[in-house]
Amino acid sequence: MTDTQSTTISVGSGPAARAIAVARRNGGSPGLLWLGGFRSDMAGSKAMALDGLGAEHGLAVTRFDYSGHGISGGDFNEGTISRWLEEAEAVYATTEGPQVIVGSSMGGWIALLLARALLARGTPARGLVLIAPAPDMTHELMSPNFTLEEHQALQAQGFVEQPSQYSDAPYRINQALLEDGAQHLLFGSVIETGCPVTILQGGQDPDVPAAHAIRLVTHILHDPVTLTLIPDGDHRLSREEDLARMKDAVLRLVA
């Protein structure tokens, strides 16, 4: 998995410009595009397993870090769904041919938004693999769970900080992220992707409940969708058997 090229692309202009780190494996079509989750990076176990799958089958693989994540530039505290979607679209524009888009958690939301944009342009994705997808997470999974004290802190200082089981440092959730998320809500209307969709969801996920994935399925009415519920799976779905499921789902869409 060493045959990758590291590049940087600039997204945005003026004060909003940021350097986005991209790792690209050359290979055949369809390519594989990785969209990571909130506070994750392109060197995680699922992203690297996808890269390994590309190496094994001679497929192009593109991974990147959102601004404020991993080795990309930019301030995490300026991050919004609009900003990270813009970066995903910019990275997608550097790929060649159809892509299977693999999105994890928040990356699942961005994958759905990206697929919608591609469909509107008449160049739909080859397929989507969504791992514990978190569409509308700002309004469905974050703010509804704030305590009274957290709501008060949000109003007073513009952010709240919550402990995370995935990091020693707390997660900061900014008012700007919540407000911007309202522009990209998908629930409440039909979700159009223009391609087959596979969802992998853990039954023991404390961050994105299985009911959220089931609700997502009810909104995808015009495209083939498969939901695999993994009863003992957690949010990360990074065990060997989980990674095997992800690879199998990707290969089905490639074929």
For 25-61, the pLDDT digits (tens) are 999 999 999 999 999 999 999 999 999 999 999 999 9
Decide if 248 contacts 240 (C-beta within 8 A).
Answer: no
Rounded Cα–Cα distance for residues 5 and 18 (Å): 20
Rounded Cα–Cα distance for residues 65 and 231 (Å): 30
Mean pLDDT of 223-243: 98
* Residue that the structure tokens 């974050």 belong to: 142
Q: Please report which confidence band the pLDDT of residue 1 belongs to, taking 50, 70 and 90 as the band edges.
A: very low
Does the pLDDT value for residue 2 go beyond 60? no
Does the pLDDT value for residue 163 go beyond 90? no
Rounded Cα–Cα distance for residues 55 and 4 (Å): 10
Q: Please report which confidence band the pLDDT of residue 171 belongs to, taking 50, 70 and 90 as the band edges.
A: confident
Please, what CATH class does the domain formed by 4-136+188-254 belong to? alpha beta
Percent of the chain with pLDDT over 70: 99
**Phi then psi dihedrals of residue 30, to 5 deg:** -75, 150
Rounded Cα–Cα distance for residues 136 and 6 (Å): 31
- Can you give the residue ranges of every domain in the chain? 4-136+188-254
Decide if 226 contacts 199 (C-beta within 8 A).
Answer: yes
Does the pLDDT value for residue 132 go beyond 70? yes
**Phi then psi dihedrals of residue 99, to 5 deg:** -130, 140
